[in-house]
Amino acid sequence: MKRIYVNEEWCLGCHLCEYECAFANSGISDMVRALKGKQIHPLIHIEDSGDVHFAVNCRHCKDPICVKSCISGALSKGKDGIVRIDRDKCVGCLTCVLVCPYGAVLPAPDGHAAMKCALCTDNGRGEPNCVKYCPNGAIVFETREEA
C-alpha cells in the first residue's frame, strides 16, 4: 500500500506539515479561519533535535498493535491497509495512545476520544495534505517494500 514516508535527509523542520495537516482535518475551507488564534492538533509531528528534523505520523502497521489493544473495536485496519478510528465507538480509554510505538495515535482535543492519520482519506482531500505542501519533497506518499 501507499504510505507516507519522511526522508530525514530533506526534512527542514519547518513544521509546515503540521499546519497543513491541522488545516486539512479542520473541515474549514479557509486556512486563516481554521487555524488563526487556535491551538492546532495535527496528526503529524515534527521531531526536532538540533539540526535533525523528522516528521512522524501513523505507519499503518501491518499488524497494528493499536487495533489489537482497542477495547471497544473502534480501531480497525481496512482492506486498503489504512488503520482508521471510529469516533462513535471510541470510549476514550486512550490505550491505543499508550501502546503506539510511534506516538502516532493522539488524544483528540476534546479528550473524549483518540485520533489518528487516515492519509487524508477521511477529510475529502484525496491526497495527503502534508505531502502536497512539503516545500522540500521530504514527505512522500509511495509504496515501499516493508521490512
Partner 1 sequence: MELYIRPDYEVVRNTDKCIACRVCERQCANGVHEYDPATGKMRADDSKCVNCHRCVSLCPTHALKIVKTDDTYRENANWGVQTINEVYRQANTGGVLLSSMGNPKPYPVFWDKLLLNASQVTNPPIDPLREPMETQLWLGKRTAKIERDEKGRLKDTLPPQLKLSVPILFSAMSYGSISYNAHESLARAAEELGIYYNTGEGGLHRDFYRYGKNTIVQVASGRFGVHKEYLEAAAAIEIKMGQGAKPGIGGHLPGAKISEDVSETRMIPQGVDAISPAPHHDIYSIEDLKQLVDSLKEATEHKKPIIVKIAAVHNAAAIASGIARSGADIIAIDGYRGGTGAAPTRIRDNVGIPIEMALAQIDERLRSEGIRDEVSIVVGGSIRSSADVVKAIALGADACYIGTAALLALGCHLCRSCHTGKCNWGIATQQPDLVKRLNPNYGYKRLVNLVTAWKHEIEEIMGGMGINSLEALRGNRLMLRGIGLTDTELRLLGVRYAGESL
Query: DSSP string of 70-138?
Result: -SSS-EEE-TTS-EEE-TTT-----HHHHH-TTS--EE-TTSSSEE---TTTTTT-SS-HHHHH-TTS-
Residue (133 or 141) nearer to partner 1, CB: 133
- By CB under 8 A, name the binding residues for partner 1: 9-10, 12-16, 18-20, 23, 31-32, 35-37, 51, 133, 135-138
Distance CA 31, CA 133 (A): 13
Residue (77 or 132) nearer to partner 1, CB: 132
Residue (44 or 82) nearer to partner 1, CB: 44
CB of 135 to partner 1, least distance (A): 6
CB of 137 to partner 1, least distance (A): 5
| Residue burial 77-95, b: 16+ Cβ < 10 Å; e: rest | beeeebbbbeeeebebebb
CB of 19 to partner 1, least distance (A): 5
CB of 107 to partner 1, least distance (A): 22
